Amino acid sequence: MSFPVPGDFKLVDHALSRVARKGAMAVVTAEGPEDHSIYNPSG
């Protein structure tokens, strides 16, 4: 799995009620240099 920008990405299935009731969510943390040509969070 690769991500074009660093950050925390939340993964859930199509049944969002499982996230609220059972906490069925994963968080993938991507690290690395920011590429502002793809995404610039400040503007």
pLDDT of residue 43: 66
Q: Domain for residue 7, yes or no?
A: yes
Cα–Cα dist 27/20, whole Å: 15
Q: Which domain holds residue 4?
A: 1-33
pTM above 0.85, yes or no: no
Q: Dihedral of the CA atoms 25, 29, 34, 38 (nearest 10)?
A: -30
Q: Domain for residue 27, yes or no?
A: yes
Q: Domain for residue 38, yes or no?
A: no
**DSSP track, 1-43:** ---SS-EEEEE--S-HHHHHHH---EEEEE-S---TTT--TT-
The tens-digit pLDDT sequence of the chain (43 residues) is 888 888 999 888 777 777 777 778 889 999 988 877 877 777 6
Q: Domain for residue 42, yes or no?
A: no
pLDDT of residue 18: 77
Domain total for the chain?
1
Q: Domain for residue 5, yes or no?
A: yes
Q: Domain for residue 25, yes or no?
A: yes
- The identity of residue 4, as a single letter, is P
